[in-house]
Chain A
Amino acid sequence: MNLQIQHIAKEFHNGTKALADVDFSVSQGEFVSVIGPSGAGKTTLFRILNGMMDCTRGQVLLDDKRFHSLKGRKKRELQKSIATIYQDFCLVENSTCLKNVLTAGLPDMGFFQGVFGLYGKSRKKEALKLLDRVGLLEKADEPVKNLSGGQKQRVAIARALMRHPAILLADEPVASLDPVTGRQILGLLKSIHEADGVTILMNSHNLDFSKEFSERLIGLKNGEVVFDGKAADLTDSITRQIYNKKDTMPENKRGVAYE
């Protein structure tokens, strides 16, 4: 699936401009990193891409199908092909790993099956297989709250894979993990990318990780794209320009973007 982001902008009700003009496209099978300082609009961009927020201008096309400004069932239909993993995992802490992975089956199920959690044998089998793939099979019946951060992110990855996503959005996937665990998680993502050919769009604070694991970097600054190219083409002067503290938005704007 090709993702086209055409000149999107986002303005919040309080007048804060999170995105000014973002325009790029991602084709099937790419591993793209979005980099940029705090407040550049990375998280806002990702929330627009997974349909949890609407852009104020511009459009998002998924294989030429309109993705933005949809409501209800139509929006959910398109959201089904996009999976997201988050900085803070967003798992149901009290439920077991297996149940968390299984929740990814819900969008395809009818209302009553969904409410009562009747996932069926084949889904359970697949969920266990995915837990095995991320190396957590023996923790399947363990509540998520007993796991370490890295293990939680593995469960979140298994949940995302359960959706067979066309695009996997990774919103700061390793920001709350220590560097060693973070590297392992990114390695896992990379291996999944190579084995399944899934498109990955990652958003990261850590420039070194982004350079090392992704094929293409997109630099975002003040809500605009200022760099788009291979990791090798990212010179020091461009990096400095992207992360130039002077022009960044104040820190608190980031909090607004999370709302």
Chain B
Amino acid sequence: MNDNKTSKYSFVIQFAVPVSFLILFFLAANFTGCDLVTFWKRRSHLTDLVVDMIPPDFSYIQKILLPLFYTIQMSVTGTVLGTFFALVLSPFGAANLEFPAVMRRILRIVIQILRSFPALILALTATFLFGLGTFAGTFAITLYTFAIMTKLTYEDASAAGKKAYQALRAMGTSKYTAYIHGILPEIIPGFLTNALYLLETNVRHSSILGYVGAGGIGLLLNEKISWLEYDKVGAILLMLFLTVCVIEYFSRYLAALIRKERMIKKEQARLLLLFLAALFLICTFTLSPPDFSRTSPQTLRNMFAGFLHPDWSFFFSAKKDGLGYLLLETVCIAFIGTVIGAIVSAPLAFLNTKRFVPAPVSVFFNLVIMAIRSVPFLVYGLVFIRISGPGAFTGVLTLAVCSIGLLTKRFTEALDALDLRPYHALLAMGGRPLPAICHSVLPQLKPVFTSIILYRFDVNIREASVLGLVGAGGIGAPLIFSMNQYAWEKAGAIMLGLILLVWVIDMVSEKTGAGN
């Protein structure tokens, strides 16, 4: 009797969840104006921009080198500083480490607020404080890294075993020291791997910071795109691709060292550390100092007054240019973008790992995915805007392509970490390969893929607010406009809305994530 009940229940669940998901998907697609017919009709425009970029203007490369260095400088310094602050402060955010609850709450609220904004918006805010230039960019990247790393680290610390920590406490060690020696060694490999990820992400983020005047190669990119000098744009993208390649392979090498999969001699390790330290020092000490000449106390006062007194009529407006509508549009863009990205990425991931396809194929797809990832997503926005015009659909397409990079990378890692023994066990019993995969591989992948997709959805909600730069719909354009026009009440209302939205999404994804 009892069994009947559960099977009925699971039957409903089995169908209700996918069906409601599909309904949601189509509603959101309709809402964002997804129009495959127009897309197909105007598909030729996908390539014409690319054709204009080839061949790139190689003579222009030497002019790119300095801004490229600024970009790397912002990402390296920002990542290192952000990671360092995260390392120092994260224990205060961890649960069950006996630190005062007040400290934990304050830290978590600060992190939650910082995490609601993409690096670009942080950089735009920083330019009002520190003037135009790389200092503002570095500041933004530092904050961005700090927020993400702190969250990841205190979550890891909360999940790590507390036994050694408690043993140290029982000997009379202070909390902080016991944390450093009892818990940190257990989580440091994951911590460093995350930091390497972020370094790579930050290179891409900082390549567009120039759009808001925060220094780096984005300034040139913006200029050349608006002057229609596409061969020069091609040269910039080529250099960015090379940079991302170098950083990717270097960080993979370092990650292998951290995980102890690759060993080097002590002297080599010392040289490597020296090199990394030198890189950081060079990047940090050549940083341009902040330029306070344009910062007036009046602006700052207006800014904070605006943040403290948001425009409530805009906040609660239910009209088409009201906050609610824009936020809903942003969520829909992120949702559809993530789903399309996931659908494309899943097969790509299988082609990307050496476990399922021959090595040359995997290397080829590796490069393709790296190329997809190295292009700043504003460039995608510009490509897609020629097809679908300004609006939410362009945002969807852009986010979908951007999601492919990270989703494929994470999926591939999940595949590489997969335990194939159950699969072989089923084969050994005489099972056919495909059913064997369905019952041994897929159950293992489902929770991992789900959490990766949820994470990407979370990222996309925040990144969607940058799409406004190219007029691709959502909350980004009004936010950036109102900040540039010093309309701080409106900017404050939008920021508050974003913070609340991200918070709600976090809660929901935590609940569903726990259900898996």
Contacts and interface: CB of A to CB of B under 8 A. Distances in A.
A179 interface: no
A180 interface: no
B171 A83 contact: yes
B167 interface: yes
A92 B164 contact: yes
B88 to A, nearest CB: 10
Nearest to A114: B177
B187 to A, nearest CB: 9
Contact of B167 (A90, A94, A109, A114): A90
A117 to B, nearest CB: 7
B91 to A, nearest CB: 11
A107 interface: yes
B511 interface: no
A107 B163 contact: no
A80 interface: yes
Interface string B152-171: 00000000010110111111
Nearest to A83: B171
A92 B173 contact: no
Contact of B163 (A83, A90, A117): A90
Interface string A80-106: 101110101111111100010001101
Contact of B170 (A52, A88, A94): A52
Given A80-B171, A94-B189, A106 B164 contact: no
Interface in B152-205: 161, 163-164, 166-174, 176-178, 180-182, 185-186, 188-189
Contacts of A109: 177
Contact of B171 (A91, A104, A115): A104
Nearest to A106: B173
B174 A76 contact: yes
Given A94-B185, A94-B189, A115 B170 contact: no
Contacts, number: 79
A91 B174 contact: no
B186 A51 contact: no
A190 B178 CA distance: 29
Nearest to B163: A90
Contacts of B168: 103, 106
B172 A107 contact: yes
B173 A95 contact: no
A77 interface: yes
Contact of A52 (B169, B173, B181, B189): B169
A79 B170 CA distance: 6
Nearest to B161: A93
Interface in B271-292: none
Interface string A42-63: 0000000011100000000000
Given A94-B188, A95-B185, A117-B181, A86 B173 contact: no
A93 B160 CA distance: 11
A92 B176 contact: no
Given A91-B164, A106-B173, 9 more contacts: A51-B172, A52-B170, A77-B172, A79-B171, A82-B171, A88-B163, A89-B163, A103-B182, A106-B177
Interface of B: 161, 163-164, 166-174, 176-178, 180-182, 185-186, 188-189
24 contacts: A50-B170, A52-B166, A76-B173, A76-B174, A78-B172, A79-B170, A80-B171, A82-B171, A83-B171, A90-B164, A90-B166, A92-B164, A92-B182, A93-B186, A94-B185, A94-B186, A94-B189, A99-B185, A103-B173, A106-B178, A107-B173, A111-B174, A111-B177, A117-B180
